[in-house]
Protein backbone atom coordinates (compact mmCIF):
# COMPACT_ATOMS: atom_id res chain seq x y z
CA UNK A 1 0.00 0.00 0.00
CA UNK A 2 1.29 3.48 -0.84
CA UNK A 3 1.05 6.09 1.86
CA UNK A 4 0.21 9.57 0.61
CA UNK A 5 3.14 11.60 1.92
CA UNK A 6 1.80 14.80 0.39
CA UNK A 7 -1.23 15.17 2.74
CA UNK A 8 -0.05 16.42 5.12
CA UNK A 9 3.22 17.08 3.32
CA UNK A 10 6.35 15.44 4.60
CA UNK A 11 9.28 17.79 3.88
CA UNK A 12 11.82 16.56 1.35
CA UNK A 13 15.39 17.62 0.70
CA UNK A 14 18.28 16.64 -1.53
CA UNK A 15 22.07 16.44 -1.56
CA UNK A 16 24.21 17.29 -4.59
CA UNK A 17 27.94 17.77 -5.02
CA UNK A 18 30.06 20.28 -7.00
CA UNK A 19 30.99 18.94 -10.45
CA UNK A 20 34.58 18.83 -11.56
CA UNK A 21 34.11 20.62 -14.89
CA UNK A 22 32.32 23.66 -16.30
CA UNK A 23 30.24 21.36 -18.49
CA UNK A 24 29.15 19.52 -15.37
CA UNK A 25 27.89 22.78 -13.88
CA UNK A 26 25.52 23.36 -16.79
CA UNK A 27 24.03 19.90 -16.38
CA UNK A 28 23.79 20.27 -12.62
CA UNK A 29 22.02 23.62 -12.93
CA UNK A 30 19.34 21.82 -14.95
CA UNK A 31 19.12 19.09 -12.31
CA UNK A 32 18.76 21.69 -9.56
CA UNK A 33 15.95 23.33 -11.53
CA UNK A 34 14.07 20.04 -11.57
CA UNK A 35 14.74 19.37 -7.88
CA UNK A 36 13.61 22.87 -6.92
CA UNK A 37 10.33 22.35 -8.79
CA UNK A 38 9.07 19.94 -6.09
CA UNK A 39 9.61 22.52 -3.30
CA UNK A 40 12.25 20.82 -1.16
CA UNK A 41 13.02 22.20 2.27
CA UNK A 42 16.67 22.60 1.25
CA UNK A 43 19.32 21.39 -1.18
CA UNK A 44 22.64 20.58 0.46
CA UNK A 45 25.99 20.88 -1.31
CA UNK A 46 28.92 18.73 -0.24
CA UNK A 47 32.19 20.40 0.65
CA UNK A 48 34.79 20.62 -2.11
CA UNK A 49 38.27 21.12 -0.75
CA UNK A 50 40.85 23.25 -2.47
CA UNK A 51 40.69 26.98 -1.96
CA UNK A 52 39.20 29.71 0.20
CA UNK A 53 35.73 29.05 -1.18
CA UNK A 54 35.83 25.31 -0.59
CA UNK A 55 36.48 24.51 -4.22
CA UNK A 56 33.29 25.00 -6.26
CA UNK A 57 30.88 24.56 -3.37
CA UNK A 58 30.23 28.26 -2.82
CA UNK A 59 29.59 28.82 -6.52
CA UNK A 60 26.92 26.13 -6.49
CA UNK A 61 25.41 27.32 -3.21
CA UNK A 62 25.04 30.87 -4.48
CA UNK A 63 23.46 29.56 -7.69
CA UNK A 64 20.79 27.79 -5.61
CA UNK A 65 20.30 30.92 -3.50
CA UNK A 66 19.91 33.29 -6.46
CA UNK A 67 18.22 31.15 -9.09
CA UNK A 68 15.73 29.12 -7.02
CA UNK A 69 13.40 29.64 -4.07
CA UNK A 70 15.10 26.80 -2.15
CA UNK A 71 17.37 27.18 0.88
CA UNK A 72 20.96 26.09 0.16
CA UNK A 73 22.77 24.17 2.90
CA UNK A 74 26.56 24.15 2.95
CA UNK A 75 28.63 21.17 4.12
CA UNK A 76 31.67 22.02 6.24
CA UNK A 77 34.25 19.59 7.56
CA UNK A 78 36.79 19.65 10.39
CA UNK A 79 39.50 17.46 8.88
CA UNK A 80 42.33 19.50 7.43
CA UNK A 81 40.95 22.83 8.70
CA UNK A 82 42.68 25.21 11.07
CA UNK A 83 40.61 27.46 13.32
CA UNK A 84 41.60 30.45 11.21
CA UNK A 85 40.82 28.70 7.95
CA UNK A 86 37.44 27.43 9.14
CA UNK A 87 36.59 30.87 10.55
CA UNK A 88 37.41 32.50 7.22
CA UNK A 89 35.43 29.94 5.22
CA UNK A 90 32.35 30.24 7.45
CA UNK A 91 32.45 34.02 7.19
CA UNK A 92 32.81 33.79 3.41
CA UNK A 93 29.69 31.62 3.20
CA UNK A 94 27.75 33.90 5.56
CA UNK A 95 28.76 36.99 3.56
CA UNK A 96 27.36 35.27 0.45
CA UNK A 97 24.00 34.82 2.18
CA UNK A 98 24.36 31.16 3.17
CA UNK A 99 22.87 30.65 6.64
CA UNK A 100 22.34 26.87 6.76
CA UNK A 101 25.19 24.42 7.33
CA UNK A 102 25.91 20.75 7.83
CA UNK A 103 28.82 20.43 10.28
CA UNK A 104 30.84 17.25 9.76
CA UNK A 105 34.05 15.98 11.28
CA UNK A 106 35.04 14.29 8.03
CA UNK A 107 37.08 11.18 7.42
CA UNK A 108 40.87 11.10 7.82
CA UNK A 109 42.78 10.67 4.55
CA UNK A 110 43.65 7.12 3.60
CA UNK A 111 46.57 5.89 5.68
CA UNK A 112 46.23 8.63 8.31
CA UNK A 113 45.72 7.95 11.99
CA UNK A 114 43.41 9.83 14.34
CA UNK A 115 46.48 11.35 16.05
CA UNK A 116 47.96 12.97 12.95
CA UNK A 117 48.39 16.71 13.47
CA UNK A 118 47.35 17.63 9.94
CA UNK A 119 43.80 16.42 10.63
CA UNK A 120 43.19 19.98 11.83
CA UNK A 121 42.48 22.12 14.86
CA UNK A 122 38.83 21.11 15.23
CA UNK A 123 38.57 17.77 17.00
CA UNK A 124 34.85 17.15 16.54
CA UNK A 125 31.74 18.23 14.69
CA UNK A 126 30.47 19.70 17.98
CA UNK A 127 33.40 22.12 17.99
CA UNK A 128 32.59 23.09 14.39
CA UNK A 129 28.95 23.70 15.36
CA UNK A 130 30.11 26.08 18.10
CA UNK A 131 32.47 27.85 15.73
CA UNK A 132 29.77 28.42 13.09
CA UNK A 133 27.47 29.92 15.71
CA UNK A 134 30.27 32.06 17.16
CA UNK A 135 31.31 33.44 13.76
CA UNK A 136 27.72 34.43 13.03
CA UNK A 137 27.41 36.05 16.47
CA UNK A 138 30.56 38.10 15.88
CA UNK A 139 29.52 39.01 12.34
CA UNK A 140 25.95 40.01 13.22
CA UNK A 141 25.63 40.53 17.00
CA UNK A 142 22.17 42.06 16.61
CA UNK A 143 19.69 43.27 13.99
CA UNK A 144 18.28 46.76 13.52
CA UNK A 145 14.77 47.51 12.27
CA UNK A 146 13.65 51.06 11.41
CA UNK A 147 10.92 52.50 13.64
CA UNK A 148 8.03 53.71 11.44
CA UNK A 149 7.41 57.42 11.75
CA UNK A 150 10.61 58.13 13.69
CA UNK A 151 13.38 59.14 11.27
CA UNK A 152 16.77 57.75 12.20
CA UNK A 153 15.42 55.56 14.97
CA UNK A 154 15.91 51.82 14.95
CA UNK A 155 14.72 48.94 17.06
CA UNK A 156 17.44 46.55 18.19
CA UNK A 157 16.35 42.94 17.81
CA UNK A 158 17.79 39.49 18.32
CA UNK A 159 20.56 38.69 15.87
CA UNK A 160 19.73 36.49 12.89
CA UNK A 161 20.61 32.91 13.66
CA UNK A 162 22.00 30.06 11.60
CA UNK A 163 20.62 26.57 11.10
CA UNK A 164 23.23 23.89 11.76
CA UNK A 165 22.64 20.26 10.84
CA UNK A 166 24.89 17.40 11.93
CA UNK A 167 25.33 13.77 10.98
CA UNK A 168 23.76 10.81 12.75
CA UNK A 169 24.54 7.11 12.35
CA UNK A 170 21.63 4.63 12.68
CA UNK A 171 23.96 1.63 12.74
CA UNK A 172 26.71 3.25 14.76
CA UNK A 173 29.70 5.25 13.62
CA UNK A 174 32.37 3.02 12.04
CA UNK A 175 35.00 4.51 14.38
CA UNK A 176 32.92 4.15 17.56
CA UNK A 177 34.91 2.49 20.33
CA UNK A 178 31.94 1.47 22.47
CA UNK A 179 28.16 1.01 22.19
CA UNK A 180 26.14 4.23 21.98
CA UNK A 181 29.24 6.41 21.60
CA UNK A 182 27.63 7.81 18.44
CA UNK A 183 24.52 8.83 20.42
CA UNK A 184 26.71 10.53 23.03
CA UNK A 185 28.36 12.41 20.17
CA UNK A 186 24.93 13.43 18.84
CA UNK A 187 24.00 14.72 22.30
CA UNK A 188 27.22 16.77 22.32
CA UNK A 189 26.38 18.24 18.91
CA UNK A 190 22.90 19.12 20.15
CA UNK A 191 24.34 20.81 23.24
CA UNK A 192 26.72 22.76 21.01
CA UNK A 193 23.78 24.25 19.10
CA UNK A 194 22.84 21.83 16.31
CA UNK A 195 19.25 22.25 15.12
CA UNK A 196 18.86 19.16 12.92
CA UNK A 197 20.45 15.74 12.38
CA UNK A 198 20.66 13.94 9.02
CA UNK A 199 21.42 10.24 9.07
CA UNK A 200 24.02 8.28 7.24
CA UNK A 201 22.37 5.89 4.79
CA UNK A 202 20.68 2.74 6.03
CA UNK A 203 19.07 -0.17 4.22
CA UNK A 204 16.11 -1.12 6.46
CA UNK A 205 13.51 1.16 8.02
CA UNK A 206 13.90 -0.49 11.43
CA UNK A 207 17.54 0.68 11.51
CA UNK A 208 16.35 4.30 11.44
CA UNK A 209 13.28 3.91 13.63
CA UNK A 210 15.14 2.03 16.38
CA UNK A 211 17.95 4.59 16.29
CA UNK A 212 15.48 7.46 16.71
CA UNK A 213 13.92 5.70 19.69
CA UNK A 214 17.33 5.13 21.32
CA UNK A 215 18.27 8.75 20.69
CA UNK A 216 15.05 10.08 22.21
CA UNK A 217 15.50 7.89 25.27
CA UNK A 218 19.03 9.31 25.65
CA UNK A 219 17.79 12.91 25.48
CA UNK A 220 18.16 13.90 21.83
CA UNK A 221 15.33 16.30 20.98
CA UNK A 222 16.34 17.78 17.62
CA UNK A 223 14.68 16.41 14.46
CA UNK A 224 16.45 13.39 12.98
CA UNK A 225 16.04 13.34 9.22
CA UNK A 226 16.45 9.98 7.44
CA UNK A 227 19.03 10.02 4.65
CA UNK A 228 18.03 7.68 1.82
CA UNK A 229 20.25 6.74 -1.10
CA UNK A 230 18.82 4.98 -4.17
CA UNK A 231 21.23 2.13 -4.92
CA UNK A 232 20.81 1.38 -8.62
CA UNK A 233 23.67 -1.03 -9.39
CA UNK A 234 25.80 -3.69 -7.67
CA UNK A 235 28.89 -1.54 -8.27
CA UNK A 236 27.34 1.42 -6.46
CA UNK A 237 26.32 -0.82 -3.57
CA UNK A 238 29.86 -2.16 -3.22
CA UNK A 239 31.29 1.34 -3.31
CA UNK A 240 28.83 2.67 -0.74
CA UNK A 241 29.58 -0.17 1.67
CA UNK A 242 33.31 0.41 1.20
CA UNK A 243 32.97 4.10 2.01
CA UNK A 244 30.53 3.88 4.91
CA UNK A 245 31.30 0.57 6.57
CA UNK A 246 27.62 -0.38 6.57
CA UNK A 247 26.72 -4.05 6.77
CA UNK A 248 26.09 -5.80 3.47
CA UNK A 249 22.30 -5.81 2.74
CA UNK A 250 21.82 -9.33 1.39
CA UNK A 251 18.26 -8.75 0.18
CA UNK A 252 19.09 -5.67 -1.88
CA UNK A 253 22.34 -7.17 -3.18
CA UNK A 254 20.56 -10.32 -4.35
CA UNK A 255 17.78 -8.35 -6.05
CA UNK A 256 20.33 -6.23 -7.93
CA UNK A 257 22.41 -9.26 -8.94
CA UNK A 258 19.36 -11.06 -10.33
CA UNK A 259 18.69 -8.22 -12.76
CA UNK A 260 20.67 -8.52 -15.99
CA UNK A 261 20.03 -5.01 -17.30
CA UNK A 262 20.89 -1.55 -16.03
CA UNK A 263 17.23 -0.58 -16.38
CA UNK A 264 16.12 -3.49 -14.23
CA UNK A 265 18.72 -2.68 -11.56
CA UNK A 266 17.57 0.93 -11.54
CA UNK A 267 13.98 -0.21 -10.96
CA UNK A 268 15.12 -2.38 -8.04
CA UNK A 269 16.99 0.54 -6.46
CA UNK A 270 14.07 2.91 -6.88
CA UNK A 271 11.60 0.43 -5.41
CA UNK A 272 13.86 -0.21 -2.42
CA UNK A 273 14.37 3.51 -1.70
CA UNK A 274 10.65 4.24 -2.15
CA UNK A 275 9.77 1.49 0.32
CA UNK A 276 12.20 2.95 2.86
CA UNK A 277 10.66 6.40 2.39
CA UNK A 278 7.15 5.10 2.94
CA UNK A 279 8.07 3.05 5.99
CA UNK A 280 10.04 5.76 7.80
CA UNK A 281 7.31 8.30 7.03
CA UNK A 282 4.73 5.93 8.52
CA UNK A 283 7.05 5.64 11.54
CA UNK A 284 7.04 9.40 12.10
CA UNK A 285 10.11 10.68 10.26
CA UNK A 286 10.12 14.50 10.04
CA UNK A 287 11.02 14.42 6.35
CA UNK A 288 12.91 12.55 3.66
CA UNK A 289 16.47 13.49 2.62
CA UNK A 290 17.61 11.96 -0.67
CA UNK A 291 21.18 11.64 -1.91
CA UNK A 292 20.70 12.64 -5.55
CA UNK A 293 24.10 11.80 -7.12
CA UNK A 294 23.58 14.96 -9.23
CA UNK A 295 20.70 13.30 -11.07
CA UNK A 296 17.09 14.35 -10.65
CA UNK A 297 15.32 11.56 -12.54
CA UNK A 298 16.04 8.79 -10.03
CA UNK A 299 15.24 10.65 -6.81
CA UNK A 300 12.08 12.19 -8.22
CA UNK A 301 10.95 8.74 -9.35
CA UNK A 302 11.60 7.47 -5.81
CA UNK A 303 9.34 10.19 -4.44
CA UNK A 304 6.63 9.45 -7.00
CA UNK A 305 6.70 5.74 -6.24
CA UNK A 306 6.63 6.48 -2.50
CA UNK A 307 3.53 8.63 -2.96
CA UNK A 308 5.32 11.85 -2.08
CA UNK A 309 4.59 13.43 -5.47
CA UNK A 310 1.03 13.08 -6.65
CA UNK A 311 1.67 14.53 -10.10
CA UNK A 312 4.50 15.30 -12.46
CA UNK A 313 6.60 18.14 -11.14
CA UNK A 314 6.30 21.36 -13.06
CA UNK A 315 9.71 22.55 -14.08
CA UNK A 316 9.97 26.32 -14.62
CA UNK A 317 11.49 27.74 -17.75
CA UNK A 318 15.23 28.44 -17.49
CA UNK A 319 16.26 31.91 -16.35
CA UNK A 320 18.17 33.67 -19.12
Active site residues: 15
Dihedral, CA atoms, 114, 117, 122, 123, nearest 10 degrees?
Answer: 30
CB atoms within 10 A of CB 38: 20
Whole-angstrom distance, CA of residue 86 vs CA of residue 76: 8
Whole-angstrom distance, CA of residue 157 vs CA of residue 135: 18
Listed residue (80, 66, 70) closest to 43, CA to CA: 70
Taking CA atoms, 271 is separated from 12, 35, 152, 302, in Å, by 17, 19, 60, 7
Helix ranges restricted to H, the chain = 22-36, 57-67, 83-95, 125-139, 181-192, 205-218, 234-244, 250-258, 262-282, 296-306
Omega before 8 within 30 of 0, i.e. cis: yes
Half-sphere exposure of 89 (CA within 13 A, CB side): 28
Whole-angstrom distance, CA of residue 234 vs CA of residue 257: 7
Amino acid sequence: MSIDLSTPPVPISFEVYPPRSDAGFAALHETIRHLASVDPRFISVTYGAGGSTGGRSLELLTHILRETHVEPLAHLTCVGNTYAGANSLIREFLDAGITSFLALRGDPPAGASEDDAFLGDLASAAELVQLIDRVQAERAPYAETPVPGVPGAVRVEKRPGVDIAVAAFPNGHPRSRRPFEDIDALLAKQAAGATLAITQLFFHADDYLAFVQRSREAGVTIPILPGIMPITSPARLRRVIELTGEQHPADLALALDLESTAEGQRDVGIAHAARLAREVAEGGAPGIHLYAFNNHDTVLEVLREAGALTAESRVPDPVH
